Structure 1
Amino acid sequence: MNAPPAPRRVLIVEDSAVLRHLLMRVVAGDPRLELLEAVETAEEALRLVPRLRPDVISMDICLPGMDGLEATRQIMAHFPTPIVIVSDTLGGQSTHVSMNALRSGALSVMEKPQGLSGAAGAAMAQGIATQLYIMSQVPVIRRRLMEAEPFRHKGMWARPLAIHPRILAMAASTGGPTAFARVLGDLPADFGLPVVLVQHMGAAFMEGFAQWLDQQVTLPVVLARHGMMLERGRVLVAPGNQHMTVGTRGEVVLHDGPPVQGQRPSADVLFSSIARVFGGDGLGVLLTGMGEDGVEGLGRIRACGGYTIVEDRSTAVIHGMPGAAERAGAACISLPVHEIAPHILRIMAGSPIPTEGPSQP
């Protein structure tokens, strides 16, 4: 009989004694995890990481002395380790710094626990422990190619595709903020399509995420509201804990339907509405993330004659969602994140595009 896997080793960095002990209880109470150390400063963490080599780090953002953002940068530069940001949700600055930490290499952000009593507290503890356990297994040593030169596709070049997209729909989970910033940041200010996107993230962070992304890219980015009309060159972000679809008049429709693939908002729900309303004029992009949300909806866009792109494993933080789409035949092509925007612009300009891709049948 095989021995059970060794627990994943956790380093906690949190300056609040109350929160530090709450997180210590969460880790100690989960057999999948082992508490290595709990410290209150980034400087202590930087001293311990080379010696302890944790499997995952729980990182506070607001720390005395060096903050969690700079600590994340230094750890990722010298001792790449999965980092989960534990952040306050109050105040735009905290969320802004948390998003920058994700761009610097942290994997995800979660809300600070307010307590562990009762059913809600137990659920939060379970969620934190599961997040730490899952992220501890992400191979972060392979750096993402955020600043890479444009990818040179190895396939043959052909006549332009006979597609004329009228909307760009995108979705991502773990690693999404950085990927969105790269793809949208590579699109020009006069980009000719409306953009709608789903990012899997705690509901409390979504408004701050939209504000942060708005500061990273040229296109205006706003949190979607029910009834808001699609506009060329504007990015609408699905709000937390609501599904986002598009209506037949080109309006945003938000609703509280049950989670799909465990997610609300769901990429499947958004992509399926794009296929239903825009048919072959839909352009779908599925970026980094775990699970299979978006696979079915992306397949519907492709089946209607639309064009679909998934992020290649060479740059995806987690290739779960895009990889599942490739295996399901839902992707027209798989590209590194830095080549997705140039590829979209080639399509819109009517330029030749490759006939062969990793996911082509």
Structure 2
Amino acid sequence: MSTLTPQPPRRVLIVEDSAVLRHLLMRVVASDPRLELLQAVETAEEALRLVPHLRPDVISMDICLPGMDGLEATRQIMAHFPTPIVIVSDTVGNEATKVSMNALRSGALAVVEKPQGLSSGGTGATAQGIATQLYIMSQVPVIRRRMVQAEPSPRPDVWTRPLDIHPRILALAASTGGPTAFARVLGDLPADFALPVVLVQHMGEPFMEGFAQWLDQQVPMPVMLARHGTPLARGRVLVAPGNRHMTVGTRGEVVLHDEAQVQGQRPSADVLFSSVARVFGADGLGVLLTGMGEDGVEGLGRIRARGGYTIAEDRSTSVIHGMPGAAEQAGAACISLPVHEIGPHILRLLAGGQTPADRLQEG
């Protein structure tokens, strides 16, 4: 006989100025037994007043609000009353997408598409997806938000093991917390970076083009959404488009396809990493950043098994340590590093430098 105590529903605060959408989101929350609606408000100012008193488990945050916008509200909440925040955003307009991405950088955990109604299967699925995101993100531990600042490299005497590797491609992947992590890692690499870069970010299809445009404004290298057959080019970042797997081809191009989801994801980090292992072998460099689940673990392990070099983000900076933590446990990562050390470490690798012996994974 089970003695498990049922978990109480997760308490939700909704911030949305549109009366129609506010009531729709209220229905979404009220109809899900995993969630409990605390209150629904129209402005960021009301939300900031209520958060310290209601102490919600998660906040559904609109971006375009009268007065203070959702970006500034996110900053203030994460600075003073850290709470998981899910951005519920329109999918049209470059400015809305840019603000949504900056909200992720300010501490929000995820961005999802606004539902347009519950009359059709597609919009019903969108509404269900919002409820699921709210439930999952409500369980993520968050701390007072501060941007990770650059820290000095370890003392020279701890860099004790020389590396004899010659990467020809850099592949990265992330899920929750990925935009900020990508901006940090790629922001530390120069515009004339010596390798082509390919990446997978788990995010809804409508936001992927906006994400690529946002990242392009954050880092020195040019960033673009990949298309089938786009050639790999040194110093250029290709982002997997939404709802399509991305692999690297034998002729130095990206290949997109629509095969089944892997680890519940499309695009999948496993699919990308596995293709890097197959095509580049020991010349592959793979990086698995913050995210929930285990996507990327098997593919990263394949890169390492072929003699390539693999990096996992350390727990100390991961928003969610699920993916990189699973890679560590599986022996798929050669080394684990805080996010602000990954870019400098990659540059050190390309310069034929050394790696810190105390952070090397066995095997």
**For structure 1, which runs of at least 5 residues remain unmatched after alignment?**
none
- The residue identity in structure 1 corresponding to 2:193 is F
Instruction: Report the equivalent of 1:82.
Output: 84
Look up the SS of the partner of 1:171 in the other structure: strand
Match of 1:10 in 2: 12
Corresponding residue for residue 94 of structure 1: 96
Offset, 1:172:
0.2
The offset of 1:352, in angstroms, is: 1.6
Q: 1:298 aligns with which of 300, 303, 306?
A: 300
Which amino acid counterpart does residue 79 of structure 1 have in structure 2? F
Q: Deviations over 1:118-143 (max 9, x none)?
A: 43333222211110001001111165
- What secondary structure, in the 3-state scheme, does the structure 2 residue paired with 1:147 have? coil
State the partner residue of 2:166: 164
Shift of the alpha carbon at 1:157?
2.9
TM-score (normalised: structure 2): 0.97
The 5 A counterparts of 1:201-350 are 201-350=203-352
1:153 and 1:291, CA in 2 relative to 1: closer, same or farther beyond 3 A? farther
One-letter amino acid matched to 2:200: V
Q: CA deviation at 1:144?
A: 6.1
Paired residues, what number? 361
Per-residue CA deviations over 1:7-60 (Å, capped at 9, x if unaligned) read 111000000001001100011011111100000100000000011010100000
Match of 1:200 in 2: 202
Are the equivalent residues in 2 in contact too, given 1:159–1:353 (CA < 8 A)?
yes
Indicate conservation of the 8 Å contact 2:80/2:144, yes or no: no
Q: Deviations over 1:196-229 (max 9, x none)?
A: 0000000000000000000001110000011111
CA–CA distance in structure 1, aligned partners of residues 104 and 205 of structure 2:
17
SS at match of 1:356: helix
Alignment partners' CA distance in 1, 2:58 and 2:323: 22
Residue type of the alignment partner of 1:239: P
Determine if contact 2:79/2:145 at 8 Å carries over to the other structure: no
Q: Contact between 1:196 and 1:238, CA under 8 Å: does it hold in 2?
A: yes
Q: 2:53 aligns with which of 51, 54, 57?
A: 51
Post-superposition CA distance 1:126-165 (Å, at most 9, x none): 2111100010011111656621414538994334211100
Return the letter of the residue paired with 1:261.
Q
Q: Secondary structure at the match of 2:221?
A: coil
Structure 1: distance between partners of 2:157 and 2:26? 51
> RMSD over aligned Cα, in angstroms?
1.5
Contact 1:331–1:360 (8 Å) recurs in 2: no
In the alignment, the residues of structure 1 paired with residue 37 and residue 157 of structure 2 have an alpha-carbon distance, to the nearest angstrom, of 49
Distance in 1 separating the partners of 2:70 and 2:360? 38
What is the match of residue 71 of structure 1?
73
Does the 8 Å CA contact 1:155/1:356 hold for their aligned counterparts?
no
Q: 1:263 to 1:332 in 2, by over 3 A?
A: same
Closer, same or farther: CA 49–155 of 1 in aligned 2, 3 Å: farther
Structure 2 residue matching 1:158: 3-state secondary structure: strand
> For the Cα contact (< 8 Å) 1:155–1:357, is it kept in 2?
no
Call closer, same or farther: CA 1:297–1:156 in 2, change over 3 Å. same
Deviates more, 1:267-276 or 1:348-357: 348-357
Identity of aligned residues (%): 82
CA distance in 1, matches of 2:289, 2:41: 34
Counterpart contact for 1:144–1:314, Cα < 8 Å: no
Residues 144, 296 of structure 1: alpha-carbon distance in 2 compared, 3 angstrom cutoff: farther
Distance in 2, matches of 1:359 and 1:122, equals 45
Distance 1:60 1:78, change over 3 A: same
Question: CA contact under 8 A between 2:16 and 2:65: conserved in structure 1?
Answer: yes
Provide the rounded CA distance (Å) in 2 between the counterparts of 1:321 and 1:230.
Answer: 26
Q: What letter corresponds to residue 338 of structure 1 in structure 2?
A: H
Q: What does the per-residue CA deviation read over 1:158-208, in whole Å, with 9 as the maximum and x for residues that have no partner?
A: 342111000000000000000000000001111100000000000000000
Q: Tell which deviates more after alignment, 206-215 or 145-154.
A: 145-154
Give the conservation status (yes or no) of the 8 Å contact 1:311–1:322.
yes
**Higher mean displacement: 145-154 or 111-120:** 145-154
